[in-house]
Structure 1
């Protein structure tokens, strides 16, 4: 589970595991499978976060290393996307760069949908081993291994049984900030073409001002440097004032665009949690248009 290909996926699984260990009344969601994707040391850390009196120490240790933004932002973006998926009126779901996402198994809204999980073959192989060990139902899930540097996404999905005549919801979470604009434009073009019957794209991005020095976001410098040290630097961002036009030019109508700070504030406040998402990390929900 410590392969280079699955580093980000494991980190996000740990963040979900922390949240899932909280008491029922003080968590935004529950992912009962998240800790199964963790190496033993991280699984122990996640387990400690579920022990009263140790919870703050365990999650605080993670935040001390990662900084104040990543964990609460990941928690909020998960909740935002969960809600958007639950509300989406579509027959199919495509998870792009699925990592160790378990929504196909934990969200009732996806139980009746055909779910296509697209990811790098190495990460996907590691995930499938865990899913097999958990003995989860995968009858509605199709795994589509794609090496984005070599494979054609549309061709691979078509070969896997993707139906272009059905309305589809696409989720592109935690990926765009690691790509070039050329790669983003290419993928958006494929999504737009695949969404011929209409549908929804849920996509995360970072505020481009986080990549500049000085940045208006206090947490930006530490966060940007941390991902760069991990060998996965942020390379792309958008200004929130321009994201609507950017997406419209590529065939998507913006419905909502919210930062994890703004989305998380009422949720955390209602649970009396002194935690905050980040203004630099955002989730956009769009409609695929063909006019």
Structure 2
């Protein structure tokens, strides 16, 4: 992340979510706010890509990964709300739209993000005529240098009550130390019934040649944008480490499970390719 600049990859993710609303039927993830917050430029670029077929296979796989992780996270949030959780923390929120679609009475939403990205998002919201709801708390933070616990406490998070955390599309860009510090904070500080869901890149030496080539191409692209990937994990080692720091129950979802859940019997080729996985860790 370039200092004092908003995230370019966050804008890419918003475009993919918006494109899904236009291009894929049936939709895996319904997000009626996505096109509004992505902006007119993103809408025009999405249509142009569709008409010209630019990088169709790679873009389609990225789009599948984005919408699958979003749906899975919000399904797990729904289960948490059913058990009484009333705090939802979105780490690295980018242009996430949940707070502007939320239908859960009494749920407090905390959007945590790099300060410049959050300023950019609030500008986008104003331009789209989207009013932040009363349940929403903005929490500006740099994960590498600032305390998450202090920032959340200042924003009103009650550490004596359980919370559900989502952390999507962020861990590849952070140092391993920053990632484990954040996960350690959740495990050590949050009440039983809390959970965190995050996606992570699989260590490239574990990928087959096709997926490794795709990994290297994407890593090169985000590095050119000034947001290089810094962390990847071996799934078995990560699972063991999570249990050691205080998560007694985990669920690790790979491409096979996600495709079976959300992309079965599709004829349009929309499928998760497999460079990343989704981890649900419960306190």
Q: Quote the residue 1:33 is aligned against.
A: 33
Q: How far is the alpha carbon of 1:128 from its aligned partner?
A: 1.8
1:251 and 1:207 map into 2 onto residues whose CA distance is 22
Structure 1 residues 147 and 137: alpha-carbon distance in aligned structure 2, compared to 1, 3 A threshold:
closer
Structure 1 residues 212 and 83: alpha-carbon distance in aligned structure 2, compared to 1, 3 A threshold:
closer
RMSD of aligned alpha carbons: 2.7
* Greater CA drift, 66-75 or 202-211: 66-75
Q: How far is the alpha carbon of 1:62 from its aligned partner?
A: 5.4
- Deviation string 1:119-178 (CA, Å, 9 cap, x unpaired) is 111111121233344333511111111133443211111111110111110111111111
TM-score (norm 2): 0.86
TM-score (norm 1): 0.84
Structure 1, unmatched stretches of 5+, are 50-54
Q: Quote the residue 1:74 is aligned against.
A: 66
- Deviation string 1:239-278 (CA, Å, 9 cap, x unpaired) is 1222220211111134321124530245223343312212
Structure 2, unmatched stretches of 5+, are none
Q: 2:130 aligns with which of 123, 127, 135?
A: 135
* Greater CA drift, 10-19 or 69-78: 69-78
The alignment partner of 1:224 has SS state of helix
Q: 1:61 aligns with which of 35, 54, 73?
A: 54
Structure 1 residues 211 and 240: alpha-carbon distance in aligned structure 2, compared to 1, 3 A threshold:
closer
1:17 and 1:164 map into 2 onto residues whose CA distance is 34
Q: Quote the residue 1:161 is aligned against.
A: 156
Q: Quote the residue 2:111 is aligned against.
A: 117
1:206 and 1:233 map into 2 onto residues whose CA distance is 13
1:201 pairs with 2:180 = no
